[in-house]
Structure 1
């Protein structure tokens, strides 16, 4: 295989990071976790309350009174890892645990001509390539120091807030009263350089309980990949001859949920079906199915999944859950592990990376771990692909192209946690005027 990424003129990591890569720095080992009343899956960190020191703790109260708390650490392969993520809306007496652990699980980059293929986390120094951030890259926030084994620490983690637009808007049925608010998210991110690419790994935490994570690819197109044949590249620069080779970025995440402090959870899949009958309005039914065994799943029209707490309910008595909200993905069919959008596997502590997971027996990629085992402690693997057909505008530097997904709270609280006080009695069906007095919906 042609090793384009590590051509001497292309590999531009800091000298200390390059030294770590040469020395083969190991991923931080995670020891076993003692059993607890509401246990997390053994092996991933359990942090009652928030059990990390001040340098590893992130805590932020957003507009509207919501507080997010979490611990962060840094691994030489996975990069940024978040542990013990909890969400405490205004009015909740205690934090609600959401994630035990959340992290990247692979960035797989195959080129369309078949001459190069990379697994950036496990084979090409992703974690070692963390970049120092300038103050202007973290406006209004704090830059924290990232420590790497046997390398000089880097000021590489930004913790700040960023405007997110409308949090809600509702106009009164009569009069000129409008309830509206603008939102701000807690934003946590690092930048990692691999060859000519730079990856921005973002986690956003909203006041309504939503978590969004995405990876943005920027940097530069490789100057050694302007030799694409017909239908495998795009002309970049003057004339039609110099064609940048097309390639894919298949990004995986690994999520260990810890809803209400326990990683023992249920997974449910929901599918909606619309029926058209001549002369009648179409009708749609939505049915949920418990996912009781390991699953390799794909998105479909009107399909979604949720992870359901077995340890807690909201004020209305409904089980708390988080819904996977998967957006656009250019699914790559070239490898078995990239052919599905989501995987649910039973917890296994050594299964950390979606491909080239060489620290674990029984297969090195996530597709080989779906063997029909019962799901008691589910691990969620999300795959989002982007097929990069380069364009003139990609030079230079390359504008950021993003790929990611959201985790949306479903019945975590009894109402919108940002509900204005004067609407706090509107839980359930509000009082409605007689039909003759109603207008619109």
Structure 2
């Protein structure tokens, strides 16, 4: 999908607007107390003390008694940023801090024919393309006003709840009783327009403690961007004359964890190996844990996963609290060093904010992408970078408008609570070994 002259002009206009923005890059709007990512200090927040003013506060109690709290702000490159995210499940005496700061860190868009390549956050005006959201797009929720420097004020942030189907289901052995619940998520999202594309930046917070981050790409195919001679596209329209050029969307997120209010979490990698059966035996699986003590560029594999472990908190069973990183489907792009790995763990540096084309000042000669920041430092205050790729080979159904294609990942709570936080009262005693005859 070659970028046409109109598209290039729109990108240049966005860059000129960025250069003129008060003489500085990355101006943000939000609560005065919201520090830049990487500069949040560990603190035990009082449960009743708000971390930000009401205009920048999101708080939602979901079915089952789970309450999510967070602050939001808006940055002219990253777009929506969520700070000080805490989770208070039923039965916990106070909120559990999960994340200091979470945001998009890049949308890298290289085209298959090698003629175009973009960093949509730091090179194409992503933050200045915030769109107004009407009430019909935020059913049952609230649309918050967002100030974008030199662009004005937008009805740009939706907070609402969405049903997600079964939260759990359990039938007793006799089949005489079924425990089941339908879950709801807190949904927080914005829409940003970059040329012909529109990106939906979505965060979902579930009543069981799960966090999901997704980016949905929609909008339209560039109307003049067809080339039927290079063999790197798909025929769109009548016959086999017009070809939309194929390209990739490599989306990065930056997560600064702060489990239980401490920046000093630790990272662990788990790998499971299957041994085929011998004779009439059964296959066996052995799982090993590897502490990640130094910066790492990691690759997803079958039966491999990572978790970030609290340095401070334990659940009521005495187990360290943690969150597991669960990547979604990804088409890894081997074209650049920073896209060759699925996950990066780096030591927190305030200037390291964007996975590619980093526009913060890290000093003369400093690397400009996340792969260059993995240089063997000890992981004391780890930052997690998640890379999820999508190779977009256009189809007739992409016009017009283009259906949303999603890419993202989940953060799954692992031992944050001693039991499922939605456990019904009459099953609350079944923690660990118990009588299964009920």
**TM class by shorter-chain length?**
over 0.9
Question: Which whole-Å CA distance do the structure 1 matches of 2:435 and 2:238 have between them?
Answer: 67
Q: Please say if 1:370 is aligned against 2:374.
A: yes
Aligned residues: 423
Match of 1:174 in 2: 174
Q: Please say if 1:291 is aligned against 2:266.
A: no
The 8 Å contact of residues 274 and 283 in structure 1, kept in 2 or not, is answered as: yes
Instruction: Map residues 314-329 of structure 1 onto 2, 5 A cutoff.
Output: 314-329=315-330
Match of 2:227 in 1: 227
Question: Which whole-Å CA distance do the structure 1 matches of 2:349 and 2:312 have between them?
Answer: 21
Task: Give 5+ residue unaligned stretches, structure 2.
Answer: none
The 8 Å contact of residues 20 and 151 in structure 1, kept in 2 or not, is answered as: no
Question: Which whole-Å CA distance do the structure 2 matches of 1:176 and 1:93 have between them?
Answer: 34
The 8 Å contact of residues 113 and 228 in structure 1, kept in 2 or not, is answered as: no
Cα distance, 1:140–1:205 mapped onto 2, change above 3 Å? same
Question: Which whole-Å CA distance do the structure 2 matches of 1:285 and 1:304 have between them?
Answer: 14
Match of 1:61 in 2: 61
The 8 Å contact of residues 342 and 388 in structure 2, kept in 1 or not, is answered as: yes
Cα distance, 1:325–1:110 mapped onto 2, change above 3 Å? same
Q: Which moved more, 1:222-231 or 1:119-128?
A: 222-231
Match of 1:302 in 2: 303
CA drift of 1:228 comes to 4.7
Q: Please say if 1:121 is aligned against 2:121.
A: yes
Instruction: Map residues 197-216 of structure 1 onto 2, 5 A cutoff.
Output: 197-216=197-216
CA drift of 1:283 comes to 0.3
Match of 2:348 in 1: 347
Match of 2:420 in 1: 416
Question: Which whole-Å CA distance do the structure 2 matches of 1:195 and 1:231 have between them?
Answer: 24
CA drift of 1:119 comes to 0.2
Q: RMSD of the TM alignment (CA)?
A: 2.3
User: 1:147 aligns to what SS in structure 2?
Assistant: strand
Match of 1:23 in 2: 20
Cα distance, 1:341–1:374 mapped onto 2, change above 3 Å? same
Question: Which whole-Å CA distance do the structure 2 matches of 1:424 and 1:220 have between them?
Answer: 51
Question: Which whole-Å CA distance do the structure 2 matches of 1:401 and 1:107 have between them?
Answer: 14
Cα distance, 1:132–1:45 mapped onto 2, change above 3 Å? farther
**Aligned partner of 1:8 among 1, 6, 18:** 6
What are the superposed Cα offsets for residues 246-265 of structure 1, whole Å, 9 maximum, x if unpaired? 00000000000000001110
Question: Which whole-Å CA distance do the structure 1 matches of 2:319 and 2:342 have between them?
Answer: 28
The 8 Å contact of residues 203 and 211 in structure 2, kept in 1 or not, is answered as: yes
Match of 1:387 in 2: 391
Instruction: Map residues 130-149 of structure 1 onto 2, 5 A cutoff.
Output: 130-149=130-149
Question: Which whole-Å CA distance do the structure 2 matches of 1:21 and 1:238 have between them?
Answer: 40
User: 2:152 aligns to what SS in structure 1?
Assistant: coil
Cα distance, 1:241–1:44 mapped onto 2, change above 3 Å? farther
Question: Which whole-Å CA distance do the structure 2 matches of 1:180 and 1:268 have between them?
Answer: 33
User: 1:273 aligns to what SS in structure 2?
Assistant: strand
Instruction: Map residues 417-432 of structure 1 onto 2, 5 A cutoff.
Output: 417-432=421-436
The 8 Å contact of residues 41 and 263 in structure 2, kept in 1 or not, is answered as: no
Task: Give 5+ residue unaligned stretches, structure 1.
Answer: 35-39
Question: Which whole-Å CA distance do the structure 2 matches of 1:151 and 1:277 have between them?
Answer: 64
User: 1:368 aligns to what SS in structure 2?
Assistant: helix
Match of 1:191 in 2: 191
User: 2:160 aligns to what SS in structure 1?
Assistant: strand
CA drift of 1:41 comes to 8.2
The 8 Å contact of residues 38 and 256 in structure 2, kept in 1 or not, is answered as: no
User: 1:8 aligns to what SS in structure 2?
Assistant: helix
Question: Which whole-Å CA distance do the structure 1 matches of 2:273 and 2:18 have between them?
Answer: 51
What are the superposed Cα offsets for residues 83-135 of structure 1, whole Å, 9 maximum, x if unpaired? 00000001100000000000000000001000100000001100110000011
Question: Which whole-Å CA distance do the structure 2 matches of 1:55 and 1:287 have between them?
Answer: 46
The 8 Å contact of residues 270 and 289 in structure 2, kept in 1 or not, is answered as: yes
Question: Which whole-Å CA distance do the structure 2 matches of 1:180 and 1:121 have between them?
Answer: 42
CA drift of 1:3 comes to 8.8
The 8 Å contact of residues 84 and 101 in structure 2, kept in 1 or not, is answered as: yes
Question: Which whole-Å CA distance do the structure 2 matches of 1:197 and 1:42 have between them?
Answer: 30
- How high is the TM-score relative to the length of structure 1? 0.92
Cα distance, 1:335–1:169 mapped onto 2, change above 3 Å? same
What are the superposed Cα offsets for residues 135-157 of structure 1, whole Å, 9 maximum, x if unpaired? 10000000001111122100000
What are the superposed Cα offsets for residues 188-225 of structure 1, whole Å, 9 maximum, x if unpaired? 00000000000000000000000001000000001232
The 8 Å contact of residues 12 and 196 in structure 1, kept in 2 or not, is answered as: no
CA drift of 1:12 comes to 6.3
Match of 1:37 in 2: none
- How high is the TM-score relative to the length of structure 2? 0.92
Q: Please say if 1:268 is aligned against 2:268.
A: yes
